[in-house]
Structure formats: structure tokens, C-alpha cells
Chains A and B, each alone.
Chain A
Amino acid sequence: MSSRTLLSALSLGALLHYAALATAQTPPAEAAAPTVSPAPETAPAAEQTPATAGAAEPAASLEATSAAPEPEAPAPVVEGAGASDEVTAEELAELGLDTSGTDIEAVDTSFRLYGFADFSFVGSAGKWAAAYQRYPTFMVGNLNLYMSKNITDTVRTFAEVRFMILPHGSRALGAGEYTSTDAVDSNDNNRPLHWGAIEIERVYLEWSMFSWLSVRAGRFLTPYGIWNVDHGSPVVIPTMRPFVVGMELFPERQTGIELLGSTYLNANHMIGYHLTLSNGLGPVSEVRELDGNKAVGGRLYWGYDGLGELKVGASWFYGRETAAHDAVGLDAAGDVVFDEQIELQSDVLAFAGDVLWKYKGLHVQAELITQQRKYTDDGRGGAVHPLLGEYLAPKDTVSFGPYALIGYRFDWLGVMPYLWYSELDFVEPVTFTDLRARQVAGGLNVRPIDAVVIKGEYRVTFWPEGGAVTDEPIQTWGFQLAWAF
């Protein structure tokens, strides 16, 4: 056991050493933006022609600039290579700027493929270890591929797809068989393979009409708070979401339409908004609306750049969640009818507030998230609980809780020690027991190069008023390697 683990650890270190050295060659964030080499045989006109550049008389040049005549009609000049002071079509093309039309289009229409992935080593201790992770384990958690393309200078498409090992290996918390996706691979001598699935996290068409108004149509992340939009493992500081975020008091994603925009009020103050109209919540809300009520939501935020970066926001969501199916039958006249059978139905109202402050290396973020859920008369479906043997029906709930995270990133290796604390008051969804969960965690987030993050974290979840199954705290820990590409 020890030797295997040692080999794994050393191999991991060696692999990461190699990968990090390779990645360090270019700034990864901007690597996707095309860079161009100087055009051959092209003299740098402004630098090599002082008379025209005005280098000898900078003050005069500035004055002349200030008094420049009213602008002429845009008339870009694109000439072939050899024109010493003109940009060539090839140079523009290398910058990804489309020059195929009659006029130069100020848009990069290249197709971009990028994303992030993460790899973890996780475990837990105590009685809960069997429920969560009996033995420490390696796992690949995310492989998210981003695709984007500007179709015109105002219309773009964007998609984020997560490739998963799941459903292979999944099981209900603490019990049950592991799901197996074994299939026979006829391409490989009928040997077994495990197939995985994909999750379309985001896909939308975006039309940017003005700086302050864009429209997205498709599937998008619910624009609430900080964590849900950060969402990617290289960006999120801890290894795991607090309960109050993970419980999805707001839907994580929605399918519908989103309006968004932002504008600077002056050099330091910015305001922005999001408005959403969607199918809202529901077991199949990605593709089907199971009630007549569309969900609405939004977010307002204010940003201030005067003392580091400060952002304060407020979000809300209102929608009806319905689980239902149709039963086909005949009415008294013998005509076919499709009868809607509602299983569960509730109205959900959620509010959230968030604050983010970054000042030099200091990083502080906090969110308060609330949700009220009220069941309709027809939608309070109950059932006899298989273990408790009694009839249980869902009750109206108010769930709420905050989390706060504080960290400080040092210049040395991009090391950030951090702590976070979270609370959540909620109703446990199986036994409908009122629960209060408290979580404390501390860890280290190391970002030695921009696109690679190494995290280690220890968490304790405890129940100040007793747990649903046991009062014993949940102790979990995890290491994560996350990278953007």
C-alpha cells in the first residue's frame, strides 16, 4: 500500500514538473490570443522615420494631435507586403482579423477551443468515511471544454461541455450498488469498456447590441453570487463547495433568455445587471417545462476600483418547480385525453447577496443565500418512507446560510493560505428533518503559474443541534490539481 502510494506520489510530482515546465513557456491566458511575428521586409515606420514620427518634437506632435481635424470617413488602407508603413492583409489575418469582406471587419472570427480540468486525491475520516469515501482515492473530476466563436462583431456563440466518467461509478450517498456502464467494444475484440457521459453546462448565442445590453439565448449559468459564476476549479479557491452553495438554493443553470450589461459610471465605479427568463427548476428543465410558469430572476452589482477591487451584488430568483407526468386515457366521449399527474409542485423564491474584495494579495468573499419553498395544494405529494415506515410529506421550508472566505496570496509561488466558514439551515430532503450545518475549512491554494493551481484542504462539518443520522462531524480532506488550457 505504502509503496504504491509512494510511486503514485512521485510519478505525479515528476509529471507535473514536466507539464509545468512546458506550460511555463508562454503566458497561458493569452496564448490563445494570436500573436504575430514582425512582417518580413517591413520597416518600423514610426520608429525609423523620426521626421514623420515626430520624435524630435514630441510636444509639437502632441499639440498637433489635440488639434486634429474632424475625423475622416473610415477608409482603411491595406496593401501588400512591401509597403513599409501599411499593415498587410497577412498581418491582419495573423491577428485573426477577418479581411475577406469589402471592408476590414473588426472581429476575430477564429474558432477557439479551451477549457479546464482537475484531478483530485480525496478522503474522509470517522464514521462518515464509509458514506463518502471509505479509502483515499484519486479521481478526475472535471474535463470542461469551451468553444467560442465570434460570428460577427456583435454576435458570438459560446459553449461549455463537461466530459465525465459518470454515470460510471456513481451511487447514492452511503449505500447501494455502484453504477456500471460496462459495454462491449466491438472495435477492440469485444473487450469491456466503461463509457462516460457529457453535461452541457452552457451553450448560448450572444448578441451584444451595446456595452450595456447583450442578450443570451440558450443555457447559461444562473448569474448569482460569486461562486456559481467562478465555478471552474482553477478559479475557485477551495477544493469543494460549501453546503450553502452546493444545495443549489438557486438553480445552478437555466435554459432560457438572459439580458446582461454593465457600464462604468466613471473611472472607478461600475454597475451591471442580469435579467433572466427561463424554464426555471424541474427534473427536466433543460428541455421541458412542466408547468405554465416561467421563472424570472436577476442580479444587480456595483464595482469599485478605488481601493483594490470591490464588488457588491444582489440576486433573486422566482419560479415554480414541478415534477409531473402525463397519463393517456379516454374521456366519457371516448376521445383520447392526456391527463397531467402532478407529483410535486412548489413555488421557490430565492435571494442572495455577495461581496468580493481584493486588495493587493488579500482576497475576501462572502455570500448570503436564502430560499423559501412553498408547496401547492396539489403538489405536496407524500409517500411511506421505506425505512421509517411512516407517511412523510414535504413541508414548506426556509433555507438560508452564509459563507465567508478569506485568503492572502503571496508573490512567492502564488501561495494563498485561506480559511472559510459556512452555515446552512435547511430541511433534509429525505426525512424532512430541520438541520443546522456548520462548516469550517482551511487550506492552501498554490498558483505557481497562471494556469495551474494546486490545492490542499481540510474540512469539518458539524451539526450544532444534532444530525439526521448521527451527530458525529464529517471530516473530509482533499488535494486537487486544476489547470486551464
Chain B
Amino acid sequence: MANRALIALAVFLLAAAVVPMQTSPVKAAGEPLLIIVGRSFPANDIDLAELKSAFTGRATYRSGTRLIPLNYSVGSPQRVAFDRAILGLEPAEVGRFWVDRRIRDEGTPPKVVSSIDLAIRVAAALPGAVTYGTTANLGPKVKALTIDGLAAGQRGYSLNQ
């Protein structure tokens, strides 16, 4: 009986310790996200399935080029919107998802870059690098891909928000 009470106490202490760690969900912006690659990327369209595959850590090829997904920090508005739309993951699920995949050896998470600017510059320079952003992030050395033949804003485009 005493043991049970002590165990309950330990569990209570653990619970109390972690209450402040909860993060509040982040609202995503309303502008459609674009899939952005370098100008040299050998296609102008990508399948939603390929995006899912690449951003869940699977080896994924498009027109013979291996995709190198570039992600943003968990909690950033773009990341929240992308994870919801492409992977079906809420912010609270993302960390668990990757911990579990790593333990199973089912893939490693995409590279996390600290800024959209860096992601765009890497995408411009590195064949196969793929990231996401908005029209404000487009430049002369990168381009936006259509998804399953649909451009941003069109009905059915996967990253309309």
C-alpha cells in the first residue's frame, strides 16, 4: 500500500515537472505555400506522394534526381502548415513521429535550416534540394513546382491554406 502511494507521488512529481513544457499551437499564414527548387531541377511538377515520401525520410527520386528535402524549425508558421497539409501531422505530433521513425530506422528527418533565405539559397545551388515558401521567396535562381499538375491557388492544390 505504501509503495503504491509513493509511486503515485513520483508520477505526480513527474507530471508537475513537465506541465510548463507544453507549447501552444502556432497559426499558419494564409498564403499558399510553394514547393521551391533550383532552376536546374529536372522537372516543373512533383507528385504529392513524392513530397510525402521525401519529407518522411525515404529515398525519393524525381526524374532521376534524388530529392534533398529542406525543412524549417518545428513551430514556424510555414512548417506547421506544411506538416499539416503534406504529412497530416499536428505540431504536437511531429517530434514523436520522428523519434519513433529513428528508433525503427525508417528514415532520418530532413535537414532543418534556420531561415527561408538559407533554404532558398541551398535549393538554388544544390541539385535535388527541395523546400517550400511563399511567392515572396521566389527569385531568379529558383522556381516553384506545381503539385500533381496544379499551381498554387488552383482548386485542389495541396498547399492552399
- A interface with B by C-beta (< 8 Å): 1-2, 5-6, 9-10, 12-14, 16-17, 20-21, 24, 27-30, 32-39, 42, 44-47, 49, 52-55, 58, 61-62, 65-66, 68, 71-78, 85-87, 91-92, 95-97, 104, 106, 108, 112, 114, 116, 121, 123, 136, 146, 148, 153-154, 158, 160, 202, 208, 210-211, 214, 229-232, 234-235, 262, 264-267, 270, 305, 308-309, 411-414, 446-452, 454, 456, 479, 484
**Residues in A whose Cβ lies below 8 Å from that of B65:** 74
Q: Complex formed: what's the CA distance from A39 to B117 in Å?
A: 10
Q: How far is the CB of B133 from chain A (nearest CB, A)?
A: 8
Q: Is the CB of A456 within 8 A of B135?
A: no
Q: Which 9 A-B pairs have the closest CB atoms?
A: A450-B95, A13-B13, A264-B49, A44-B117, A29-B98, A58-B135, A448-B18, A17-B17, A232-B103
Q: Complex formed: what's the CA distance from A202 to B108 in Å?
A: 17
A232 and chain B: residue at smallest CB distance: B103
- Kindly supply a per-residue 1/0 record for chain B positions 92-124, scoring 1 wherever the CB is within 8 Å of any chain A CB and 0 otherwise: 101111111011110011111111111011101
A210 and chain B: residue at smallest CB distance: B61
Q: Is the CB of B41 within 8 A of A71?
A: yes
- Having A65-B144, A91-B122, one finds 19 other A-B pairs with CB under 8 Å, namely A9-B6, A9-B13, A10-B10, A27-B95, A47-B117, A58-B135, A61-B144, A62-B135, A62-B144, A136-B3, A234-B99, A264-B52, A266-B49, A267-B47, A267-B148, A270-B49, A308-B88, A412-B22, A451-B95
* B68 contacts partner chain A, Cβ-Cβ < 8 Å: yes
Q: Is the CB of B3 within 8 A of A16?
A: no
Give B134-150 interface residues, CB cut-off 8 Å to A.
135-144, 146, 148
- Interface SS of A by simple majority: mixed
**Residues in B whose Cβ lies below 8 Å from that of A39:** 118
Q: Complex formed: what's the CA distance from A20 to B96 in Å?
A: 15
**Residues in B whose Cβ lies below 8 Å from that of A123:** 3
Q: Is the CB of A66 within 8 A of B18?
A: no
A-B contact pairs, 12 of them (CB 8 A): A13-B13, A17-B14, A21-B21, A29-B97, A62-B34, A78-B125, A231-B103, A264-B50, A264-B52, A265-B49, A305-B52, A412-B22
- Kindly supply a per-residue 1/0 record for chain B positions 23-59, scoring 1 wherever the CB is within 8 Å of any chain A CB and 0 otherwise: 0000000000010000111111001111011000011
- Selected from A14, A106, A121, A449, the residue in CB contact (under 8 A) with B127 is A106
* B60 contacts partner chain A, Cβ-Cβ < 8 Å: yes
* B81 contacts partner chain A, Cβ-Cβ < 8 Å: no
Q: How far is the CB of B62 from chain A (nearest CB, A)?
A: 10
**Residues in A whose Cβ lies below 8 Å from that of B49:** 264-267, 270
- Assuming the contacts A17-B14, A309-B88, A449-B21, asked whether A106 and B121 have C-beta atoms less than 8 A apart, the reply is no
* B159 contacts partner chain A, Cβ-Cβ < 8 Å: no
Q: Is the CB of B104 within 8 A of A87?
A: no
**Residues in B whose Cβ lies below 8 Å from that of A97:** 68, 111, 126
**Residues in A whose Cβ lies below 8 Å from that of B80:** none
- Assuming the contacts A12-B10, A71-B42, asked whether A85 and B139 have C-beta atoms less than 8 A apart, the reply is yes
**Residues in B whose Cβ lies below 8 Å from that of A452:** 18
Q: Is the CB of B112 within 8 A of A30?
A: yes
- Assuming the contacts A38-B118, A46-B117, asked whether A87 and B95 have C-beta atoms less than 8 A apart, the reply is no
